[in-house]
Amino acid sequence: MNVEVLPPVTRLSDRVLRILGQENSHYKARTNTYLIGRRPPWILVDTGEGKEDYIPLLRQALRSEAPGATGGRLISDIVITHRHGDHHSGLPSVLSMLRRLWDPDQPYAPPRLHKYPLEDPTKTFIRKSTSLPDNSLEKTIAWLTENPDLYHQAEKGEQGPYFHDLVDGQVIQAADNGTTLKIIHTPGHTSDSVSLWSEEDYALFTGDGILGHGTAVFEDLSVYLDSLHRLQELLGSKDGDRSIHIHPGHGQVVEDGRAKLEEYIKHRLEREKEIIAVLETPRPASADRDGWTIEQVVAVVYASYPQSIWQAAGYSVAMHLLKLENEGRAERDKKSEGMEMKTDIWKWVSEAEVVSKV
């Protein structure tokens, strides 16, 4: 799927400047990074995956926004929305650039790095899927270990000296004293995913939890739906006469944040109903086993979609099945550390069966 090509640098409001990471991809929009605040030093949200073409864009943006601040502190804080490499692997190049731009005659004041603590980086739910291990955070931390003078080291926390632990409800204040970012822990895409609420801009930064195009992937559907409902409750508590923009980790600005959240939740619940309908359908008498594999469910639910996306769709179906299994509404013929796309057989558990097991 081709995605919309966005300008490399875009002023979204007087407090938000978007700068695109420069990943080469025809199927995934480049990572959005954001400079937050009305004067330096700014807060930077995410850093892209470290492509060379990103740094000239960021450097030019910093110089254009603060032509008189050459040699001074340009970025005070860098917030990483989650552990995936296309959001933090740019840290080495960004930190190196900030040091080069600093006045050599002045003591260096490096930026603080922030991230929500990762609960279990080894946790996986499915094998033989499109979800591959991501060890990029280990590489970033290895670089930070070798370059301790380029960032403000955290004194206490779960992530060593590298990242200041983000806490749900925490507020980060920009240097202009008029821009704040409230941290909202929104796991699901990853366990460490956060969203950021800007009260002054009435804007929500969502990382990869909500995208500017298509739908998001997730590691845990139950947790992800809880996060979507939490964000929906947050936006519902705000002034209904004011529009709320979503600034996603990929893709264009979502102009109606409330409608997008409703769309995301509705889509997941409708997909769940489609999967349940398949499980409730008896397999043909000629079938070698009574039940459905993930691949077979995908072939029915995604029959109208190109087969080129079926493998990726299998991961989404697997997450739905895991949710149903945890709720006691579906079961499989074997339980392993992960899930097998081709061999695990899934069956629907009727309401009567659920009651009988209680």
pLDDT digits (tens, 9 = 90+) for 20-63: 997 665 446 799 999 999 999 999 999 999 999 999 999 999 99
Least confident span in 128-137, 198-207, 219-228, 311-320: 128-137
Whether the predicted pLDDT of 100 surpasses 90? yes
Q: What is the dihedral of CA 251, 313, 27, 140, to 10 degrees?
A: 70
Domain 282-357 belongs to what architecture? Orthogonal Bundle (1.10)
pLDDT at position 195: 98
Better-scored residue on pLDDT, 353 or 312: 312
Q: Which residue has the higher pLDDT, 312 or 24?
A: 312
| CATH class assigned to 9-223+246-253 | alpha beta
Q: How far apart are CA 29 and CA 213, in angstroms?
A: 8
Question: Looking at the predicted structure, is the pLDDT value of residue 114 above 50?
Answer: yes
Distances (CA, A) of 210 to 21, 60, 110, 156, 223: 18, 28, 31, 31, 14
Distance CA 140, CA 135 (A): 9
Distances (CA, A) of 30 to 33, 227, 277: 9, 24, 36
Which pair of structure tokens corresponds to residue 120? 């279990």
pLDDT for position 124: 43
Separation between Cα atoms, residue 160 and residue 20, nearest integer Å: 29
Q: What is the mean pLDDT of residues 310-320?
A: 93
Q: CB of 20 within 8 A of CB of 156?
A: no
The answer, yes or no, to whether residue 122 has pLDDT greater than 50, is no
- Which of 8, 44, 7, 2 has its CA nearest to residue 25? 2
Residues of the chain above pLDDT 70, percent: 87
The yes-or-no answer to whether 9-223+246-253 and 282-357 have a common fold is no
State residue 282's pLDDT score. Answer: 87
Query: Measuring CA to CA, which residue among 65, 64, 140, 62 is closest to residue 101?
Result: 62
Confidence band of 286 (pLDDT split at 50, 70, 90) = low
Among 83-97, 225-239, 327-341, the least confident range: 327-341
Give the up-direction half-sphere exposure of residue 236: CA atoms within 13 A in the CB hemisphere.
8
Q: In terms of C-beta density within 10 A (0-12 exposed, 13-18 middle, 19 or more buried), how is residue 129 classed?
A: buried
The pLDDT assigned to 72 comes to 81
Of residues 115 and 5, the one with the higher pLDDT is 115
Domain extent listing, the chain: 9-223+246-253, 282-357
Residue 341: the pLDDT is 81
Residue 346 has pLDDT above 60, yes or no: yes
**Per-residue model confidence (pLDDT) at position 125:** 43
250 backbone dihedrals φ, ψ, rounded to 5°: -145, 140
Tell me the HSE value of 280 on the side-chain side, using a 13 A CA sphere: 10
For 168-188, letters b (16+ CB in 10 Å) and e give: eebebebbbeebbbbbbbbbb
The pTM is what?
0.91
Percent of the chain with pLDDT over 90: 75
The whole-number pLDDT of residue 219 equals 92
Contact of 116 with 194, CB cutoff 8 Å: yes
pLDDT(295) > 90:
yes
| Between 173 and 340, residue with greater pLDDT | 173
pLDDT band at 285 (very low <50, low <70, confident <90, very high): low
What average pLDDT does this structure show over 6-31? 85
Residue 10 sits at φ, ψ, to 5 deg, of -140, 130
> In whole numbers, what is the pLDDT of the chain averaged over residues?
89
Across the strands, what pairs with 194?
Answer: 185
pLDDT above 50: residue 99: yes
- For 141-190, the pLDDT digits (tens) are 999 999 999 999 998 888 999 999 999 999 999 999 899 999 999 999 99
